[in-house]
Amino acid sequence: MKFFIDTANLAQIKEAQDLGILDGVTTNPSLMAKEGISGDANVIAHYKAICDIVDGDVSAEVIATDFENMVKEGEALAALNPKIVVKVPMIKDGVKAIKYFSSKGIKTNCTLVFSSGQALLAAKAGATYVSPFVGRLDDISTDGLALIEDIRLIYDNYGYETQILAASVRHPMHIIECAKMGADVMTGPLSAILALLKHPLTDSGLAQFLADHAKAAGK
């Protein structure tokens, strides 16, 4: 399972990269705004800075919502660095744009996916990744993880190569359940990734080992 971090915060991206388990980064316009990044030149510079830190795919989202401008923006983003994956929303022109990018060998991430029908369209258009938003479905009392399970079944039925990128992951159990269901990738905050480390028996066991070691050494 690939681990992507869902942030535009350079310090957090670096921390995850230094841990040695990071496979990529996803961003979106809200995450860029959260870091105070605005204006075309600053946005471009920030994507370049992310690409310099991470070994792996970096999703950069188009702002345009019409085919022509999505293509223009996406091609400019893809030209920045081979790590860039053009993130395109699941709308009619988005599907057309994904098909276009896929025919040009440009990697895509189809975002804002909330149903298996949308995921099927993304795969048919040739998306590299599809991003079902697990947490946001949970937020409206709908089972986000069940969507991952349905998409896995549909993609396996037909051998679609589009990778399921479980997005809007909020906590460690989302990651574990997505792994059990065979999601290819998960993207979540650093806090959810680091929470996987935690177990009280690890902490107490280590404390005991160190105490026994010190005792045996006569300390």
Where in the sequence numbering do the catalytic residues fall? 87
Q: 100 or 133, CB closer to ligand G3P?
A: 133
Tell whether the torsion through CA atoms of 51, 168, 165 and 184 is positive or negative: positive
Q: How far is the CB of 159 from ligand G3P (least distance, A)?
A: 26
Q: 101 or 144, CB closer to ligand G3P?
A: 144
| CB-based contact 94:110 (threshold 8 Å) | yes
Residue with CB nearest ligand G3P?
Answer: 168
Residues near ligand G3P, by CB under 6 A: 6, 26, 28, 133, 135-136, 167-168, 170, 187
Contacts of 35 (CB under 8 A, 6+ apart): 8, 9, 10, 46
Q: How far is the CB of 90 from ligand G3P (least distance, A)?
A: 12
Q: How far is the CB of 168 from ligand G3P (least distance, A)?
A: 3
d(CA 192, CA 12): 12
d(CA 98, CA 108): 6
Q: 126 or 135, CB closer to ligand G3P?
A: 135
